[in-house]
């Protein structure tokens, strides 16, 4: 995390990295994030993807952290007018500014992670994280002793709500009587608020917590760790990135997105001219999302549990297991996976 934080060009679009220096017409790729890339989650995965594009495709890359809609517009204008070819805007909140920028700069390609709006040069990059969070929910249903599990979210946008609906369904599939608590703190990065929400759920009897936040996740892990340190039993589940090593002693597993891989695939498709039109999907079937049990607690994942997880995973992939989904992409009528990469 320290390496990522130190290397990021946050807040300064003029700073660049890459092999393109000296090239007549280098491939330029930019990344916008609304939070710090030191979050060990959503933003960190995006920055890893940017560096992987640099290393594997020889691109000149730049990153900027933006916090307000006015900053979104300014950053899009700055990168587009400076000759950047491909801009990754990593978050649902960028979609309106992306469409505006796309209209103003039709020669620039913009990819909005978890976005819902589509235009000729704006592509939503959709992660079916609900498929992995359903599996995480199954694990929570098995592992809870109290019969209560909790969910702490950042902002209640459709992609985040969708992961919680699926988690709840997964928990009830393995423990029909389980009580599921839910809280959205209104921020992706407020560690104190996330810890407060987690502590409230733990006091109400929850003994397995999952989050869908960014840097605020550290507050959830800390709340669960303090229960364990006080002699109690509670577990956490990671989200967005493999967080099994953030608090390994109390983390059962993580519902992950393979963000770096998806970024490189999109950038390569752009270079090859095969990007096509419309949303780009990543799911269990193409390996874009997954649930990863913590190797530290492998003994808890009995052969019966692993077999049940694999059966559910196969059912989701082939479409025989129906899980809750919130569709938020404009004119999303195509079957899930029809444009999977």
30 in a structural domain? yes
Burial class (CB in 10 A: 0-12, 13-18, 19+), 98: buried
87 and 109 part of one domain? yes
- What whole-number distance in Å separates Cα of residue 28 and Cα of residue 84? 5
User: Is position 327 within any domain?
Assistant: no
CA-wise closest residue to 32 among 70, 99, 79: 79
Same domain, 190 and 247: yes
CB 18 within 8 A of CB 26: yes
Asked if the structure places residue 330 within a domain, the reply is no
Q: Is the pTM of this model over 0.85?
A: yes
Q: Is residue 337 part of a domain?
A: no
Position 207 in a domain: yes
Looking at the structure, tell me whether residues 119 and 161 fall in a common domain.
no
Residues 221 and 312 both lie in one domain = yes
- 266 and 177 assigned to the same domain: no
- 66 and 139 in a common domain: no
On whether both 117 and 220 belong to a single domain, the answer is no
Do residues 172 and 300 share a domain? yes
The boundaries of the domain holding residue 171 are 130-256+289-318
Q: Is residue 302 part of a domain?
A: yes
Do 165 and 310 share a structural domain?
yes
Q: In whole angstroms, what is the distance from residue 257 CA to residue 260 CA?
A: 9
For residue 50 the two structure tokens come to 């940017």
Give me the residue label for tokens 């992939």.
317
Q: Which CATH number fits the domain that encloses residue 240?
A: 3.40.50.2300
Cα 184 to Cα 26, 133, 190, 218: the distances in Å are: 42, 17, 11, 15
Same domain membership, residue 168 and residue 306: yes
Helix axes 303-318, 129-143, angle to 10 degrees: 150
- On whether residue 334 sits in a domain, the answer given is no
Token couple for 145: 């002793």
Q: Does the residue 240 lie in any domain?
A: yes
Instruction: Please count the structural domains in the chain.
Output: 2
Tens place of pLDDT for every residue, the chain, 341 residues? 333 333 334 334 334 555 444 455 799 999 999 999 999 999 999 999 999 999 999 999 999 999 999 999 999 999 999 999 999 999 999 999 999 999 999 999 999 999 999 999 999 999 999 999 999 999 999 999 999 999 999 999 999 999 999 999 999 999 999 999 999 999 999 999 999 999 999 999 999 999 999 999 999 999 999 999 999 999 999 999 999 999 999 999 999 999 999 999 999 999 999 998 899 999 999 999 999 999 999 999 999 999 999 999 999 999 999 999 999 998 665 434 333 33
Q: What is d(CA 250, CA 222) in angstroms, rounded to the nearest whole number?
A: 10
Residues 124 and 273 reside in one and the same domain = yes
* 160 shares a domain with 88: no
């Amino acid at each position: 995390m320290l390496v990522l934080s130190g290397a990021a060009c946050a807040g300064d679009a003029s700073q660049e990295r890459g092999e393109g220096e000296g090239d007549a017409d280098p491939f330029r790729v930019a990344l916008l994030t609304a939070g710090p890339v030191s979050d060990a989650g959503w933003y960190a995965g995006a920055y890893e993807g940017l560096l992987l594009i640099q290393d594997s495709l020889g691109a000149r890359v730049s990153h900027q952290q933006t916090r307000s809609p006015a900053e979104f517009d300014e950053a899009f204008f700055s990168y587009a007018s400076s000759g950047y070819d491909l801009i990754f805007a990593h978050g649902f909140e960028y979609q309106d500014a992306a469409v505006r920028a796309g209209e103003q700069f039709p020669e620039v390609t913009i990819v909005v992670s978890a976005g819902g709006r589509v235009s000729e040069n704006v592509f939503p990059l959709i992660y079916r994280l609900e498929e992995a969070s359903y599996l995480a929910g199954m694990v929570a249903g098995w592992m809870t002793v109290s019969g209560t599990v909790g969910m702490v979210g950042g902002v209640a946008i459709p992609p985040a709500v969708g992961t919680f609906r699926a988690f709840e369904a997964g928990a009830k599939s393995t423990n029909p009587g389980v009580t599921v608590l839910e809280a959205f703190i209104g921020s992706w990065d407020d560690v104190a608020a996330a810890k407060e929400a987690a502590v409230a759920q733990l006091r109400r009897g929850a003994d397995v917590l999952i989050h869908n936040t960014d840097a605020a996740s550290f507050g959830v892990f800390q709340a669960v760790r303090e229960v364990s340190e006080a002699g109690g039993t509670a577990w956490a589940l990671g989200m967005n990135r493999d967080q099994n090593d953030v608090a390994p002693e109390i983390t059962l597993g993580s519902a992950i997105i393979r963000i770096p891989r998806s970024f490189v695939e999109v950038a390569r498709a752009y270079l090859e001219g095969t990007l096509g039109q419309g949303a780009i999907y990543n799911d269990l079937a193409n390996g874009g999302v997954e649930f990863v049990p913590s190797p530290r607690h492998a003994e808890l994942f009995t052969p019966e549990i692993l077999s049940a997880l694999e059966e559910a995973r196969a059912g989701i992939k082939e479409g025989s297991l129906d899980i809750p989904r919130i569709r938020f992409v404009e004119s999303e009528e195509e079957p899930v996976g029809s444009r999977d990469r």
